[in-house]
Homo-oligomer: A and B are copies of this chain.
Amino acid sequence: MRIPIQISNDSAEPLYYQIEVQLKALILSGQLAEGALLPSIRELAQQLACSVITIRRVYQDLENEGILRTRQGTGTFVANVGQTARDNYRTDAVLTAMKEAILTGIRVKCTDAELEELFRAALQEVRDQEKA
């Protein structure tokens, strides 16, 4: 099975973290359904061209968060997460990032109007980049 995850060795973010964020997003947005079987550690490591240690950490972290479930000798599955929990999760990550961005703006004395303008500019840029 092919997991649509992009990682960058040149990013400041650690590998394991890049993978966790994207895998979590795939699950919480419903692109990986509950009960779905994930690739084995070795297989995913090969797909992403990284170390098995890194993937092992990812699976373990997400299992600790209750998002994955590992059954010995069988594999790793998407756990049952309640719909409301799922919704909260989804928006929480975004909300946190938004607040971070807004705080950055406030530190350099942006007004609310400026912040909104910057939000729109950022959205525009991201959407443009998507098409290309």
Contacts and interface: CB of A to CB of B under 8 A. Distances in A.
A122 interface: yes
Interface residues of A, number: 46
A115 B124 CA distance: 12
Complex copy number for this chain: 4
Interface in A24-55: 25-26, 28-31
Contacts of A9: 71
Contacts of A110: 90, 94
A126 B104 contact: no
A51 to B, nearest CB: 9
Contacts of A116: 119, 123
Contacts of A102: 122-123, 126
Interface of A: 9-10, 14, 21-22, 25-26, 28-31, 64, 69, 71-72, 90-91, 93-95, 97-110, 112, 115-116, 118-119, 121-123, 125-127, 130
Q: Which 9 A-B pairs have the closest CB atoms?
A: A97-B101, A98-B122, A25-B107, A29-B108, A94-B105, A29-B109, A98-B101, A99-B122, A90-B108
